[in-house]
Amino acid sequence: MTDARVSAVIHVIDDDEAVRQSLVFLLATAGHTVLEHPSARHFVEAGLPAADPTISCIITDVRMPDMTGIDLLHHLKDKGSTVPVIVVTGHGDVPLAVEAMKLGAADFLEKPFDDVAILDTVKSALSRREKAHQHDALREQVTERIAALSQRERQVLECLVAGQANKTIAYELGISPRTVEVYRANVMTKMKAQSLSELVRMALLAGLTPGVA
């Protein structure tokens, strides 16, 4: 697992220059790469967030002129962005914070907040982002391995995921139990699975539907 604290790119969006620069300094001191934006509109017009292989997140104020934090969340949702967003709200903005969470915000912070609170919230958001990134990468790998199976190997895999024993699979497919064992060994090798339980987890991760093709 990569060190999110080192590789992370944090986008700080706030029209209050003093608040923005304070956050930038804090995050940079903690080891993050930080990009600052004076408005949500500036962030969007810069073409962000682009496809980003690194672990990253956005910290945005919720009350800004022209384009609010809520507007930004709508925009990100429409773009299918998975970058976690931490929304910063003022005192009494709980309804806005709740709305932000419903739109997919990873977390929210109420002003005034301390340094520890910000750093802990960012760390948590980055950790969830990294796990999701790794999960997506693994699912893509597993999907490619399944696609490389022959039709018969795919059938055997589906039967295994359905919990069927070798004799049952042999009967269902009209082949001998010994032949099933051969296909099963091939499937384990091609899927790079060390055990049957790992094979089943892989297949479920890829959304494989049990059943004979």
Q: Is the pLDDT of residue 4 over 50?
A: no
CB distance 4 to 123 below 8 Å: yes
Exposed (0-12), middle (13-18) or buried (19+): which is 140, by Cβ within 10 Å?
exposed
CB distance 180 to 193 below 8 Å: no
Average pLDDT for 84-92: 84
pLDDT > 70 in the chain, percent: 90
Domain ranges of the chain: 4-137, 148-205
CB distance 67 to 44 below 8 Å: yes
Cα distance from N-terminal residue to C-terminal residue, the chain:
37
SS3 (DSSP) at 108: strand
Q: Among residues 34, 109, 32, 35, which one has the least CA distance to residue 69?
A: 109
Instruction: Give me the CATH topology for the region 148-205.
Output: Arc Repressor Mutant, subunit A (1.10.10)
Predicted confidence (pLDDT) per residue in 117-163, tens digit = 899 999 988 888 778 777 888 888 999 999 999 999 999 999 998 88
pLDDT of residue 49: 65
Considering only 17-21, 49-53, 75-79, 119-123, which range has the smallest mean pLDDT? 49-53
Give residue 51's pLDDT band: very low, low, confident or very high (50, 70, 90): low
pLDDT of residue 129: 78
Rounded Cα gap, residues 14 and 164, in angstroms: 57
pLDDT of residue 2: 40
Q: Is the pLDDT of residue 211 over 80?
A: no
pLDDT of residue 3: 43
Instruction: Give me the CATH topology for the region 4-137.
Output: Rossmann fold (3.40.50)
Pairing state between β 56-61 and 33-37: unpaired
Rounded Cα gap, residues 180 and 159, in angstroms: 11
Q: pTM value?
A: 0.67
Considering only 6-15, 34-43, 67-76, 101-110, which range has the smallest mean pLDDT? 6-15
The length of the chain, given as a count of residues: 213
| pLDDT mean across residues, the chain | 86
Predicted confidence (pLDDT) per residue in 194-210, tens digit = 888 889 888 988 888 65
Give residue 21's pLDDT band: very low, low, confident or very high (50, 70, 90): very high
Average pLDDT for 70-98: 86
Helix (H) or strand (E) holding 87, with range, is strand 85-89
